[in-house]
Amino acid sequence: MSFRRSSFLVSAVVVALVATAVAAESPGEWSGFAAVESRGYAEDPGFAGQDSGSPTSLVFEPEYYRELAGGDQSLTFRPFARLDSVDDERTHFDIRELSWRRVERNWELLAGVSKVFWGVTESQHLVDIVNQTDLVENPDGEDKLGQPMVRLSLVRNWGIVDLFLLPGFRERTFPGADGRLRPPLPVDTEDAVYESSAGQEHVDYALRWSHAVGAFDLGLSWFEGTSREPLLTLSPTDTGTLVPYYEQVSQVGLDTQATLGNWLLKLEAVERSSRSSDFAATTAGLEYTFWGAFGSSLDLGVVAEHLWDERGELATSPFEDDTFLATRLAFNDTQSTEILAGAIFDNDGDGSQIVIEASRRIGSSWIVEAEMRAFSGNDPTDPFAFLRDDDFFQLSVQRHF
């Protein structure tokens, strides 16, 4: 949550630029959404301290956008807030985006807090390392915290090169002691430990080259800095809690996709080294879409991916040798109705997760979303085992503007 000196600096740059540039430009525009979200858990909590209630949340994410200098520059501000009725750690505020962007013929520059996405696969995002996961949002890890950055993109005939300077580390969010979807012991994020003596002030670097040639999209990336994925260790001071330990890592990543008619073939691979380990991990898979399935206007997509981690049972991610199978239904109706159903299961037979997500537009500005997640597993080394009492159903109503 804390934006310290270095990240504050980046924000200060933005504010200074706003002050100089705003003067006689056209007014900006507001957009965004507000949502009410309610979760019900199927079982009583499995660990001491967890609240057995059904949490309700209010979420607000407005966005302000303004063009400057005739459109060659722009400012974006997107704060985010969640108020949760049960978990104080889920109640949180973040700046998802506060950035100034300048676009030139052969390059682009972005300074401030922003978000980037790297990768091609659906089940997990191995290569995607720049932004920290906002884990309290959803156990799927798709939600990200804003990352302070200076990003220079060089656009060439042979691809796009992105250079990142990342001052200021964002800690992963974890559910609090009374929250669900957490390890048996709560994670105390206040006492995070860092390998680097610079702690959160450590400046990270990243580089990415990406290109598209015919049917192939290719990305190569490199990252040097504080790991986004902490190791959880027993707290030395407060027994009964875990503390995150953030190592220094260097990671080389590859992501590629071949788009061949109805087929998408995907591969993500990383090699990550730190003081504690040096390992490779991959996600490889395919996606096939039946357009206009069953003689209707429905599109039916089928996804299969294999997740592998060289560390095996010692992997910090739950996916050391797992299979992901999913189907995506797009109804192509005026309400943009969509259903996604997927399962990810350990190939050793222990631990699985099932997810069903459905969404539909009501009128022109409302979205109703339902989500169900179920976990199983008896092997205590499998992280899904911790979640086996946390099967939940969630209903969310969003008003977009």
The residues of the shown chain that bind another protein, judged by CB under 8 A, are: 31, 33, 65, 74, 101, 103, 105-106, 108, 115-117, 120, 142, 153, 155, 160, 210, 212, 214-215, 217, 257, 259, 261-264, 289, 291-292, 297, 299, 332-336, 361, 364-365, 367, 398, 400-401
* Least distance CB 398 / another protein (angstroms): 7
* Least distance CB 45 / another protein (angstroms): 30
Nearer to another protein, 257 or 352 (CB): 257
* Least distance CB 355 / another protein (angstroms): 16
Nearer to another protein, 93 or 117 (CB): 117
Nearer to another protein, 196 or 337 (CB): 337
Q: Cα–Cα distance between 62 and 196 in angstroms, integer? A: 35
380: left (phi over 0), alpha (psi -120 to 50) or beta: alpha
* Least distance CB 105 / another protein (angstroms): 6
Nearer to another protein, 365 or 378 (CB): 365
For 22, what's the count of Cα atoms within 13 Å in the CB-facing half-sphere? 12
Question: Burial code of 176-185, b = ≥16 C-beta within 10 A, e = fewer?
Answer: bbbbbbbeeb
Nearer to another protein, 237 or 364 (CB): 364
* Least distance CB 144 / another protein (angstroms): 8
- What sections of 236-333 are H helices per DSSP? none
* Least distance CB 401 / another protein (angstroms): 6
Nearer to another protein, 8 or 288 (CB): 288
Inter-residue contact 289 to 262 (CB < 8 Å): yes
**Which sign, positive or negative, has the C-alpha torsion 178, 181, 187, 193?**
negative
Which helix (H) or strand (E) segment holds residue 17: the answer is helix 5-21
At 8, give phi and psi (nearest 5°).
Answer: -60, -35
* Least distance CB 291 / another protein (angstroms): 4
Three-state DSSP class for residue 393: strand
* Least distance CB 335 / another protein (angstroms): 8
**Which sign, positive or negative, has the C-alpha torsion 35, 40, 41, 44?**
positive
Three-state DSSP class for residue 110: strand
Nearer to another protein, 236 or 295 (CB): 295
Nearer to another protein, 87 or 128 (CB): 128
List the Cα angle 53/56/60 in 5-degree steps.
Answer: 155
Tell me which residue of 60, 75, 73 sits closest to 29, measured CA to CA: 75
